[in-house]
Structure 1
């Protein structure tokens, strides 16, 4: 879809740039494949479950793992160290996804056309410093609550 849209409109003189995705950064959604990549990422970072148990204090919290297959999925998690690791993993996935999309667009865009996205600052699966490296311009959506009209 990215290729089709960019190829179709890149030559149009009114198109000055392209926005990839919108407000990227998952909130919690995942499937088995994404969860397995998370486990693989932890395995690469920690080496074995004993190291993870120590680093995350899982013995103290009665969540000690005996094997990687014992790791629970993120929904309903109550461990802050898990949340931090999950959010960091999601942020890396989001950064890679945006960079992938930007690379496709750049293959079709004319010189001078920019690549952008719009960030939602409240998204926990986002590291904007890294994500914006693959973009030319970045916008941010700051959603503010407004008081009810009287």
Structure 2
């Protein structure tokens, strides 16, 4: 071994006690954050470990908002939200395919229904079925804001429109 290596290794602490003493000498006494002993009470059970573990955020954890309007080939900006657009169904289907390929696991539809088309039966909401037929899969989650389909505001959803299992 070289003499340089021997000189460097001889300066290092040889035992754990020596290492602790070296740390205590290097850290000022008034530094309360420099603990030599680290309590492990938050690692005692699996439930506590899950609760305090690092957050891992992936594309599958996101919900992508989609704003839909009538027409074909139409796209208009949402005034209150920069870089968000209302798309007609044909453009929305293309955009949702891209979102699906990116791995985003949930989409929320926000329709823009003209006031004269709103009624108690909510007949306009039937057009959303094309969207569900195209993109639904066993791991997809969709939500549709149906409160805007009724001219009276939020109403109960008819039983025929409720969630149907996909498998």
- Report the structure, 1 or 2, having the larger helix content: 1
Using structure 1 for the length normalisation, give the TM-score. Answer: 0.28
Bigger Rg, which one: 2
TM-score, normalised on structure 2?
A: 0.26
More strand by share: 2
By relative contact order (CA 8 Å, sep 6+), the higher-ranking structure is: 1
